[in-house]
């Protein structure tokens, strides 16, 4: 399945008509990430086996997610795995939204271009001479590149 031009609304329609399962849709996005994210660096990590039967979502890496490493774009928090969800992450789970992964951000969301991520910058998928924005440039680039149907940042 080509996810490049698939909107969140179109993905929802596919799920409602049972043309695809949530697991198949999630796998399609993970495949797209594997194919295209090496050059874009949108994601800091992906989630292989998420729960949920809805449209998959990408979350900025400053949002605490129980059981999924959350670094806030900083080497200081490398390896930190929260035991709790931020309220918004809990609401996404309650709504059945499978997590594709955690997206790149300026360190502690302190920037406006994702160039200050300790893990390297994200790149604009449509014009590599421009930044994708920030501090949640990883999320912006992921959605723009079709590596997520939608995403949540804090910008």
Q: Which of the four CATH numbers 3.10.20.90, 3.60.150.10, 3.40.50.2300, 3.90.1300.10 does domain 8-152 have?
A: 3.90.1300.10
Block means of pLDDT (10 residues each) for the chain, length 155 residues? 89 97 96 96 94 96 98 98 98 97 96 92 93 93 97 87
Long-range contacts of 87-95 (CB under 8 A, 24+ apart): 88/63, 88/152, 89/59, 89/63, 89/64, 89/65, 92/57, 92/59, 92/152, 93/51, 93/52, 95/52, 95/54
Which position has the token pair 């302190």? 110
For residue 122, the model assigns a pLDDT of: 96
Q: pTM higher than 0.85, yes or no?
A: yes
For the chain, the structural domain boundaries read 8-152
């Amino acid at each position: 399945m080509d996810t490049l031009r698939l909107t969140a609304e179109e993905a929802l329609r596919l799920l409602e008509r049972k043309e695809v399962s949530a697991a198949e849709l999630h796998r399609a996005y993970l495949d797209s990430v594997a194919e295209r994210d090496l050059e874009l660096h949108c994601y800091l990590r992906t989630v292989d086996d998420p729960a949920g039967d809805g449209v998959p979502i990408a979350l900025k890496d400053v949002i605490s997610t129980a059981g999924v490493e959350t670094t806030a774009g900083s080497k200081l928090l490398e390896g930190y795995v929260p035991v709790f969800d931020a309220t918004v992450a809990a609401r996404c789970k309650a709504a059945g939204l499978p997590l594709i992964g955690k997206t790149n951000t300026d360190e502690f969301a302190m920037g406006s271009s994702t160039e200050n991520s300790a893990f390297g910058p994200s790149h604009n998928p449509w014009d590599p001479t421009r930044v994708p924005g920030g501090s949640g440039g990883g999320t912006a680039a992921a959605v723009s590149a079709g590596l997520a149907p939608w995403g949540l940042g804090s910008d």
